[in-house]
């Protein structure tokens, strides 16, 4: 082989020496990921590309371009007008309960249509999302068309990534081989499979907040809430102030929500990880004030996109009232 492989140009751009490497443009990142998802890339090239991106730190334009490439796979299935909120769930190792599912249920109970999507995640010794969804009778569908249909009757529906963008799901399986998460774990959160006008974004590490913000702006996401989430999920930590990069009707602002709990020594990783714990908290059979405040706080963040006229404190109060008024017998 005497000529460079067409994908080599993207590895070269990222992998040149200390003073010669550069970020990819939106178009380059989109084209590179399109080749990857089409199976046109050598495995050695793929590993090099993903690790070089991680080592340098991905830009918002790169995340946006890769997201656009993935969305092109299911673009014809999106439709319109079927969902209000996009709620990604892509943390693969939950060392705490996925309490955010209860916040999504409460949001749906207010009449909003919510599409949750994500990966299955590890089970042994962890607390993945899907068993909790089963326990709480949240419909899980196998196509975006099925999601649209289910949202006619239910206000919260879940779809696994494998059912609407299988080539991207395959890239998640590289983690045990590479030993680290890659850009895939990050930009999958931006997919917004049904183009919901309101998007929730919980990120693993605060430095990624700006990249997600830039991605939202480049993809013309009208409303988004981007913050460091508990365990990398859409979950507000009530023991700390919540610094949120918000897009509200296309305008960027930082929102700083106050601490909700004066308890500062709750150990998330010491939680009982049985799915039934979440059901017990919903029913009021057990009281866990910190997770309950996290549920309330997460709901308040989501409501801000639909009720921008309310102050942060008013939203926290409204969310607390919604939690207090929940139907505790609903899942009996």
Q: Decide if 3 is inside a domain.
A: no
Q: How far apart are the first and last CA of the chain?
A: 65
Q: Decide if 332 is inside a domain.
A: no
Average of per-residue pLDDT across 23-46: 96
Q: Decide if 1 is inside a domain.
A: no
Counts of helices then strands in the chain (DSSP H, E): 14, 8
**Residue range 63-90, pLDDT digits in tens:** 999 999 999 999 887 777 789 999 999 9
Whether residue 16 sits in one domain with residue 161: no
Q: Decide if 170 is inside a domain.
A: yes
Whether residue 198 sits in one domain with residue 175: yes
Whether residue 66 sits in one domain with residue 164: no
Does pLDDT of 1 surpass 70? Answer: no
Q: Decide if 230 is inside a domain.
A: yes
Q: Tell me the C-alpha to C-alpha distance, in Å, between residue 216 and each of 28, 76, 103, 219, 294.
A: 18, 21, 23, 5, 25
Q: Decide if 2 is inside a domain.
A: no
Whether residue 29 sits in one domain with residue 165: no
The CATH number for 148's domain is 3.40.1030.10
Give the model's pLDDT for residue 122: 77
Whether residue 136 sits in one domain with residue 149: yes
The CATH number for 57's domain is 1.20.970.10
Q: Dump the DSSP string for 224-281.
A: EEEEE-GGGSS---TTS-EEEEEEETTEEEEEEEPP--S-----GGGS---THHHHHH
Question: Which domain range does residue 185 map to?
Answer: 81-324
- Asked if 80 and 148 touch (Cβ cutoff 8 Å), the reply is no
How many domains are contained in the chain?
2
Residue 257 phi/psi, 5° resolution?
-80, 145
Whether residue 146 sits in one domain with residue 70: no
CA atoms within 13 A on the CB side of 320: 12
Using CA atoms, how far apart are residues 231 and 233, in angstroms rounded to an integer?
Answer: 5
Higher pLDDT pick, 284 / 76: 284
Q: Decide if 29 is inside a domain.
A: yes
Whether residue 137 sits in one domain with residue 119: yes
Q: Decide if 330 is inside a domain.
A: no
Whether residue 90 sits in one domain with residue 201: yes
Whether residue 317 sits in one domain with residue 277: yes
Count of CB atoms situated within 10 Å of the CB of 215: 30
Give the model's pLDDT for residue 295: 97
Does pLDDT of 94 surpass 90? Answer: no
- The pTM of the full predicted model, rounded to 2 decimals, is 0.95
Using CA atoms, how far apart are residues 288 and 187, in angstroms rounded to an integer?
Answer: 33
């Amino acid at each position: 082989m005497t000529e460079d492989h067409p994908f080599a140009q993207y590895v070269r751009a990222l992998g040149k020496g200390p003073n010669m490497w550069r970020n990819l443009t939106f178009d380059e990142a989109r084209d590179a990921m399109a080749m990857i998802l089409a199976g046109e890339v050598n495995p050695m090239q793929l590993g090099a590309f993903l690790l070089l991106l991680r080592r340098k730190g991905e830009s918002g334009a790169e995340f946006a371009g890769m997201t656009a490439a993935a969305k092109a796979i299911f673009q014809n299935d999106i439709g319109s007008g079927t969902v209000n909120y996009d709620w990604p769930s892509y943390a693969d190792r939950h060392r705490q309960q996925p309490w955010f599912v209860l916040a999504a249920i409460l949001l749906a109970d207010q009449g909003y249509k919510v599409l949750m999507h994500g990966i299955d995640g590890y089970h042994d010794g962890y607390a993945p999302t899907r068993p909790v969804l089963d326990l709480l009778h949240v419909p899980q569908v196998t196509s975006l068309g099925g999601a649209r249909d289910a949202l006619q009757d239910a206000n919260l529906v879940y779809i696994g990534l494998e059912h609407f963008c299988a080539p991207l799901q395959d890239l998640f399986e590289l983690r045990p081989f590479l030993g680290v998460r890659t850009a895939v774990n990050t930009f999958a959160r931006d997919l917004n499979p049904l183009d919901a006008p309101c998007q929730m974004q919980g990120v693993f590490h605060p430095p990624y907040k700006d990249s997600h913000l830039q991605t939202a702006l480049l993809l013309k996401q009208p409303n988004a809430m981007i913050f460091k989430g508990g365990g990398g999920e859409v979950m507000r930590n009530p023991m700390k102030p919540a610094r949120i990069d918000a897009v509200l009707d296309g305008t960027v602002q930082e929102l700083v929500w106050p601490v909700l709990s004066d308890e500062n020594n709750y150990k998330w990783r010491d939680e009982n990880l049985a799915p039934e714990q979440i059901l017990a908290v919903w029913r009021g059979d057990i009281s866990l004030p910190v997770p309950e405040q996290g549920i309330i706080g997460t709901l308040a963040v989501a409501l801000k996109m639909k009720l921008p006229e309310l102050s942060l404190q008013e939203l926290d109060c409204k969310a607390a009232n919604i939690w207090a008024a929940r139907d505790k017998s609903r899942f009996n």
